[in-house]
Structure formats: structure tokens, C-alpha cells
Amino acid sequence: MNRNLTATLLAAAILLAPGLAGAQSTTHASSMGSARDHVVIQVSDADPAKWNLALNNARNVQVDLGMDNVDVEIVAYGPGLPMLKTDSSVAQRIASASAQGVSVLACENTMRNTKVERSQILPGVKFVDAGVVHIMKRQKEGWAYVRP
């Protein structure tokens, strides 16, 4: 009798296992499908090639995931901040990214230390107190982090 009970339980487990696995993956897939993605991109270089790479990354993420499915932030601080000024060689691309829903953020700590005024920064750029701290907070909130 003990043998029959063991065989019955084993057969039941085998029959139920595929259904349970399917239920788990369906639940996981549906929660993943409804979740919005978030990425924060750090640019702390004054190199136009790095900026173009960061802007390409932002655009590619929006194209691949869909603009309505992802939040994208580019945080500039340190040597990367001057590229947000109105005379920047990538000003046109930054304006285009902002128009496409990418949040471009300037570090006010760097601005104070380098005597850059808000009036010198491109329209559409937003401001954070400290770029590094903002990135840290975003990572703690679960945002993906990219540094091209």
C-alpha cells in the first residue's frame, strides 16, 4: 500500500509539474510585460564621440523597447557638463533627444564649481543637485545603469 501511495504521488507530481511551470512563467511574463523599463546613462566626458554614443544608446533603447515603455535619463556632470552648453557641438542632438522624451540632466554641483549659469545651458535640460547622487538613487530604485 505504501508503494502504491508513493507511485500515485509521483505520477501526480509529474502530471502537475508542467502546468505549474507554465503558470509561473505566465505570471512572470505578464508582470514583466506591464513593467516600465528605466535606464540612466552617465556622461562625464567632454568628448563628442562619447556624447554621440550616449545619445545613440538612448535612441536605440527607445526604439527597441518603445518610447512609451521606457524612461531614459542622461546625467551629465564633471567634464561632461560643458557639452550641455548652448555652444556645444552636440547641441542639436541633445535637443532632438529631449524632444523625443529623453531627460537630459545637468549636475548643479558641477555648475557651481565651474561657474556655469542655467542661462548657459541648452533649453530643455533639467537640473539635479548632484549627478552622482542622482545616479546612485536611480540604481537603488532599480534603474539600469549605462556608461558609454
Same domain flag for 11 and 48: no
Same domain flag for 13 and 24: yes
pLDDT tens for each residue of 89-130: 999 999 999 999 999 999 999 999 999 999 999 999 999 999
123: amino acid identity, one letter: P
Same domain flag for 44 and 92: yes
Same domain flag for 77 and 14: no
pLDDT tens for each residue of 12-59: 444 444 443 333 333 333 334 558 999 999 999 999 999 999 999 999
Same domain flag for 30 and 63: no
pTM of the shown model: 0.77
| CA–CA separation, 99 and 108 (whole Å) | 22
Residue linked to cell 534603474:
143
State which residues form the domain around 17. 1-35
The secondary structure element, H or E, covering residue 38 is: strand 37-43
Total of domains in the chain: 2
Same domain flag for 70 and 142: yes
* Terminal CA-CA length for the chain: 66
48: amino acid identity, one letter: P
Helices of type H across the chain: 2-34, 48-65, 91-99, 108-113, 131-140
Same domain flag for 60 and 125: yes
